[in-house]
Amino acid sequence: MAERRNGGWWRPGHGGLMLTTWWVAVVAATVVMATPQMALAQIQNSLPPPCDSEIYCHGELLKTVQMAELHNDSKYFVDMPLKNSPNDTLRAFQELMDRTQNNPSKEDVSNFVAENFEEPGSEFVPWVPDDWEAESFSLAPQLLKPQKNRDTHASHRTDPTSSIPRLPGTMLIDFIKVLVLETGMYRQQ
């Protein structure tokens, strides 16, 4: 049985441990450990989202898909183009969440992603410029030459002021007419 002594509680047989002191230590340790987490949460809540997209940058859809761990690479999902408009996709996601009482299974999430997203890179099609001459293409020698000695043959250049040869690229379907990516898609394999 504990009894009160010298402003704290003492239990016989416990070496005179003051329970008040023990509780102060527990509370202090809790505050010290929780403070950095609370500060981080406060900072995260005060920052604006990284971009406006509720699908690819922030929000429940992104969180749900990423937490389902459908792919080994966390970047895989954000590289997947939409099959439908953002509003239709968000509406379909809300229907999924309502149907599963905000607790979709991994299979539910996988089916949702398959129904609403294309595979990464599917928005690109191979494209070769009309004046492409493969046998005369060599980028390294062009870049290694001093600027004044570089080949300025017009059929190799992207624009008349550049001495860098035109490169084969890809075309972004439906969004813009031509997008040249010099080394193809920048996806890690």
Cβ neighbours of 185 (radius 10 Å): 10
At residue 129 the predicted structure's pLDDT band, cuts being 50, 70 and 90, is confident
* pLDDT at residue 35, as a whole number: 65
Domain ranges of the chain: 3-46, 60-116, 124-172
Query: What's the average model confidence in pLDDT over 120-124?
Result: 85
Look at residue 93 and tell me whether its pLDDT is greater than 60: yes
Asked if 88 contacts 61 with a C-beta cutoff of 8 angstroms, the reply is: no
Backbone dihedral angles phi then psi of residue 171, each to the nearest 5 degrees = -120, 135
